[in-house]
Amino acid sequence: MVVEENQNQMMDSIAGDSAMTATVLEDEAEEETTTTNTWKNTKESLILHLSKKLLHRDLDFRIEAAREIRKMLRKSPVKSSARSKLADAGVIPPLVPMLISSNIDARHASLLALLNLAVRNERNKIEIVKAGAVPPLIQILKLHNASLRELATAAILTLSAAPANKATIITLGVPPLLVQMLSSGTVQGKVDAVTALHNLSACKEYSASILDAKAVSPLIHLLKECKKHSKFAEKATALVEMILSNSEDGRNAITCCEAGILTLVETVEDGSPLSIEHAVGALLSLCHSDRDKYRKLILKEGAIPGLLSSTVEGTLKSRDRARVLLDLLRETPREKEMAPLILEKIVYGIAVHVDGAEKAAETAKKLLQDMVHRSMELSMKSIQHKA
């Protein structure tokens, strides 16, 4: 009987706890719903208030409104919804003229507000450009104020992510100013400038005219200093490849850069698959343009081991490019006597790195066979062409 009474008491206790837990959960859900609704109502009234405040004649009121927009977007639990509703309320058009204000605080506040409105919102990016934000941003990029230039570069980066904006940004003359940022900007400004230029390079209609030889030296310097397998290196090598494939001045510029070709060779050795693909492409562009001029310069920097490795480990495109480049780098008749032994040593070293010492001999044999097969294919094509 005592046991039964204890069990009954325990069951009653558990039932009571369950009922209490359910009540607490219901209260919490109701409280969360109330909080969300309260926030929604508060947000809508605040958005209306800010949109009106931005139209005030007093600049201080407008600066305060711009700061409150940024603050609101940073604290909002539903940022994407808030961005869209702010744009619908018409806050973008009055923010754009503040970018050309003689008041530094007005420029700073409007830049940050527009940046926060544009992030992760394609429609807002397009609306900001349509509202005429690019010319004022160009003016800011020409200033000597490092902080404002960095923010303007970040804004261009964000706006350039929208495909619809790329052509406008390019034709209004932004790329040369971004190239200047590569040399004279802050660290963050340089990173954002590279990313913005990479975004703009996707606009095929204008890709060849985005960059010129002036960008080669700062890009090589940044590539030299960064980690070769980073996303930043992938973008930088893509831009270098673009310049070298389209500009004779760019190809001349890289030979004048300190360790210019060496930096590309090091990227082939240590970069990510995409960085390697672009670095090999850049070296191939040099050789294609003038084999006699660039062959020795590339060989001098020790490119062969990295290229051989790329024929095995790289992307499909980089493997093909590496094979073509190796063919272009082949020795002249006078150098052929020592070439087989040197080549075998290099290939064996790569095989050890790829498959270990135990399987190195077999891997090296396969690599050499592949190279011989490739050489025979090219010879046959040459014979057919002559025939």
- Span 293-344, pLDDT tens digits: 999 999 999 999 999 989 888 899 999 999 999 999 986 544 444 455 566 6
Packing angle, helices 146-160 and 122-130, rounded to 10: 120
173: left (phi over 0), alpha (psi -120 to 50) or beta: left
On the question of pLDDT at 251 being above 70, the answer is yes
| Of 345, 284, 344, residue with least CA distance to 314 | 284
Average pLDDT for 1-30: 46
Tokens 């359910």 sit on residue: 22
Cβ neighbours for 242, distance < 8 A, ≥ 6 positions apart: 201, 207, 208, 210, 211
The per-residue pLDDT of the chain, averaged, comes to 84
| Of 301, 302, 300, 322, residue with least CA distance to 311 | 322
Return the pLDDT at 28.
Answer: 45
Return the pLDDT at 81.
Answer: 86
Confidence of residue 25 (pLDDT cuts 50, 70, 90): very low
- Give the single-character DSSP code of 331: P
On the question of pLDDT at 191 being above 70, the answer is yes
CA distance linking residue 177 with residue 164, whole number of Å: 20
The backbone torsions φ and ψ at residue 311, rounded to the nearest 5 degrees and listed phi first, read: -70, -15
Average pLDDT for 62-69: 96
On the question of pLDDT at 92 being above 50, the answer is yes
Question: What are the CA-CA distances from residue 342 to residues 31, 109, 286, 300, 338 (Å)?
Answer: 76, 63, 24, 15, 7
Cβ neighbours for 143, distance < 8 A, ≥ 6 positions apart: 149
**In this predicted structure, which of 72-81, 91-100, 236-245, 342-351 has the lowest mean pLDDT?**
342-351
On the question of pLDDT at 268 being above 60, the answer is yes
On the question of pLDDT at 10 being above 50, the answer is no
More confident residue, 122 or 359: 122
CA distance linking residue 37 with residue 50, whole number of Å: 20
Return the pLDDT at 46.
Answer: 86
On the question of pLDDT at 365 being above 90, the answer is no
Return the pLDDT at 333.
Answer: 47
Question: What are the CA-CA distances from residue 49 to residues 64, 71, 211 (Å)?
Answer: 12, 14, 44
Cβ neighbours for 102, distance < 8 A, ≥ 6 positions apart: none
Structure pTM?
A: 0.76
Average pLDDT for 112-127: 96
- Give the single-character DSSP code of 271: S
Average pLDDT for 15-30: 47
Question: What are the CA-CA distances from residue 242 to residues 155, 176, 202, 204, 321 (Å)?
Answer: 24, 15, 11, 11, 15
Q: Provide the CA 228 distance to its chain's centre, in angstroms.
A: 14
Confidence of residue 362 (pLDDT cuts 50, 70, 90): confident
| Of 274, 192, 195, 203, residue with least CA distance to 241 | 274
Average pLDDT for 351-359: 71
Cβ of 187: how many Cβ atoms within 10 Å?
10
On the question of pLDDT at 171 being above 70, the answer is yes
**In this predicted structure, which of 45-59, 93-107, 228-242 has the lowest mean pLDDT?**
45-59
On the question of pLDDT at 188 being above 80, the answer is yes
Question: What are the CA-CA distances from residue 352 to residues 309, 346, 355, 356, 364 (Å)?
Answer: 11, 10, 6, 4, 8
Tokens 């909080």 sit on residue: 35
Return the pLDDT at 65.
Answer: 96
Q: What ranges make up the beta strands (E) of the chain?
A: none
